Structure 1
Amino acid sequence: MAATQLDPAVLGRWLDEHDAPGDGELPVLEQLSGGSQNTLYLIHRGGHRMVLRMPGARADAARIDGLLREIRLVRALRGTDVPHAELIAANDAGDLLGMPFYVMQAIDGWSPMDGGWEAPFDDDLTARRGLAFELVEGAAKLGRVDWRAQRLDGFGRPDGFHERQVDRWLAFLDSYKVRDLPGIDDAADWLRRNRPAHYRPGIMHGDYQFANVMFAHGAPARLAAIVDWEMTTVGDPLLDLAWCLLGYDGENPREDGFYLDMKGMPTRSELLERYEKVSGLSTENIDYYLVLANWKLGIVLEKTYAAGVRSGKVDPKIQGAFGAMVPQLIATAAGLAGSLK
């Protein structure tokens, strides 16, 4: 769907009805790249910038339902201290543009996925430390939100969350499996035997890492927004913390990085301390969550690798990276599990 197919006059009237910035101005639409699951448009209106997010023209019912969940989530975050692009207005019914959509504030910030660390974080390692603390604080703030007070009952199924994880993700993997992944069953067996007896449910992003946040420009580090809420649910927020620590070998960041240069980052203990202070949650069982995070991410990324293998339309860069990264993630999960027996 091209941006020109969205009628600016129709959208402008709708924005006026919802007291959006730029009252009375005709919006100018610019389609943005990078939205793999949804279509994104930058709206210029009376000197203001907003972003419209909607499913693509060929979206199936699951994708549309996913966007409706996102709308519910960003509504719930309004007024909290969680850094996010605040909701301006939403059309849940999809009767205006043919699909449900929502409009949010545009974030003036940068993503580490757009070329790595922005200056001064590219060479100032002291400043770079702050990025990791901000990342962890964002997870802590999200996890401590009172989700019931924010009307998110039924948004997830926190009861039995850990009991479902292994079988759910193994079934997911079986639906597209194209190769053996050594260690997958060893880690799965360990996870079954070592599930937390108790946990405090909270909002979890589900894919919480540097790839899915934006930072404000310049030092000191400041988390501007958590983005890409496709996998969010009410579950165990400590899994988001484990996602933050995937670039670590034990106490220290990996010397060869993960997908970013991790030199200068805080130790794992420093990050755990910051998370506990902000969230009020204990991290004493972090090893379980690290096994689960490595194992689960490997399964999620394997779907992209498998799609390339099955279609024959192989992107050498993606296939090469995921071809090696997925077995390494699974091996890390199995190795950590084995060391904890």
Structure 2
Amino acid sequence: MIDTQRLADWMDEQGLPGKGEPLEANFLSGGTQNEIYEIVRGDERCVIRIPPAAAPANRDEGIMREWRIIEALDGTDVPHTRAVAACSDKSVLGRSFYLMGFVDGWSPMEFKKWKEPFISDPEARRGLAFQLSEGIALLSKVDWRAKGLHDLGRPDGFHERQVERWTRFFDRIKGREIDGMAEATEWLQNHKPLDFIPGLMHGDYQFANVMFREGAPAQLAAIVDWEMGTVGDPKLDLAWMIQGWPEDTESPEAETSGYVDMRGMPSREEMVAHYADVSGRQVDDLDYYLVLAKWKLAIVLEQGFQRAGDDYKLQSFGTIVPTLMRSAADLAESTDYRS
């Protein structure tokens, strides 16, 4: 639990609203990397994001990195949480932290299903998907240089580093041979996107990391969880979003293809077309990004499997990883994409 008195004193020093009012902190969520509390003080309602005491030391840098992105999004069209204040002085609460506006909305991860009217109204549900696609398209249009994010990432050599970095990472955690790994890696080493326009990217963009406003029509309230945010290639976010999208969103399999019911959703082609319309980016080289996204996700999940222990969820990655990597290799081998 955070020290509410020390937080209140710091907020007073920053001249934030609610000075002198009692402060209430309500735990919302958290794990080994971050904890999130709702902060209520008088009429002010916001959220604090802070690493727990046992989190690795570099999470303090990560928190301030997230803050830079959230602060930079103010004044843009990207749905985001309002930037309130940040503190890198660990003497206040023991870790770096930031305050962001409270989002009056809901997350698909809350109950692992949609909320009404998106359960009973298929057309309204389609709007959730288009809003998801639009959010990441709007993010790709942010002028990251003008927002002072020129040093957030290293766009030069981004794609070469992706393959080199994650290949080295896999070699460090390797505990078994993964079918398709060699083929997909070699294909990525020999192909590049048709163009590369650097932009702000989320890094883990999916329904789990957005919030929607209540009621229809669907409206994206905020993109959240910026732990992987960087300046890189926004089209990798697009591929990450759709790499597991059902081939047929009208089939019974779409109900169980993810953590939410995907029946009645727009097709993958419709999602990509909406992204292209809003972002203004060409998507003719999408196969390259899909191979990269599947390959990278397989490696990320393999790390979880290798350290699973008695964790049933992580153990389940044991069968998911080979299927995903084989999918990346099959797409690489079958596509006529040339870069």
Same fold (TM over 0.5): yes
State whether structure 2 residue 192 is matched by structure 1 residue 195: yes
Aligned-residue Cα RMSD (Å) equals 1.8
Mind listing any 5+ residue stretches in structure 1 that lack a counterpart?
none
Tell me if structure 1 keeps the 8 A contact 2:250–2:263. Answer: yes
3-state secondary structure, aligned to 1:31 = strand
Runs of 4+ in 1 over 6 A off after TM superposition: none
TM alignment of 1:66-77, pairs within 5 A: 66-77=62-73
Cα distance change on mapping 1:289 and 1:38 into 2, 3 Å: same
Alignment match, 1:179 = 176
Alignment match, 1:27 = 23
Distance 1:285 1:241 in 2: 12
TM-score, normalised to structure 1, is: 0.92
Tell me if structure 1 keeps the 8 A contact 2:246–2:262. Answer: no
- Tell me the CA shift for residue 162 of structure 1: 0.6
Alignment match, 1:332 = 327
- Tell me the CA shift for residue 249 of structure 1: 5.0
TM alignment of 1:45-56, pairs within 5 A: 45-56=41-52
Cα distance change on mapping 1:249 and 1:40 into 2, 3 Å: closer
Alignment match, 1:258 = 258
- Tell me the CA shift for residue 251 of structure 1: 7.4
26-35 or 325-334: which moved more?
26-35
Alignment match, 1:13 = 9
TM alignment of 1:138-157, pairs within 5 A: 138-157=135-154
3-state secondary structure, aligned to 1:42 = strand
Q: 1:109 aligns with which of 76, 99, 105?
A: 105
Alignment match, 2:165 = 168
Deviations 1:289-340 (A, max 9, x none): 11111111111122122111xxx3x1224422x2222222212111111111
Residue identity over aligned pairs, in percent, reads: 52
- Tell me the CA shift for residue 225 of structure 1: 0.9
3-state secondary structure, aligned to 2:91 = coil
Alignment match, 1:64 = 60
Tell me if structure 1 keeps the 8 A contact 2:46–2:99. Answer: yes
3-state secondary structure, aligned to 2:221 = strand
Mind listing any 5+ residue stretches in structure 2 that lack a counterpart?
none
State whether structure 2 residue 275 is matched by structure 1 residue 279: no
Q: 1:246 aligns with which of 243, 248, 256?
A: 243
Letter in 1 for 2:36: L
Letter in 2 for 1:186: E
Distance 1:54 1:37 in 2: 8
State whether structure 2 residue 205 is matched by structure 1 residue 208: yes
Distance 1:253 1:329 in 2: 22
- Tell me the CA shift for residue 47 of structure 1: 3.5
Tell me if structure 2 keeps the 8 A contact 1:253–1:267. Answer: no
3-state secondary structure, aligned to 1:96 = helix
Letter in 1 for 2:297: L
3-state secondary structure, aligned to 1:49 = strand
Letter in 1 for 2:334: S
Tell me if structure 1 keeps the 8 A contact 2:60–2:88. Answer: no
Letter in 1 for 2:59: R
- Tell me the CA shift for residue 157 of structure 1: 0.4
Letter in 1 for 2:244: G
Letter in 1 for 2:138: K
Letter in 2 for 1:276: A
- Tell me the CA shift for residue 18 of structure 1: 3.0
TM-score, normalised to structure 2, is: 0.92
Cα distance change on mapping 1:155 and 1:253 into 2, 3 Å: farther
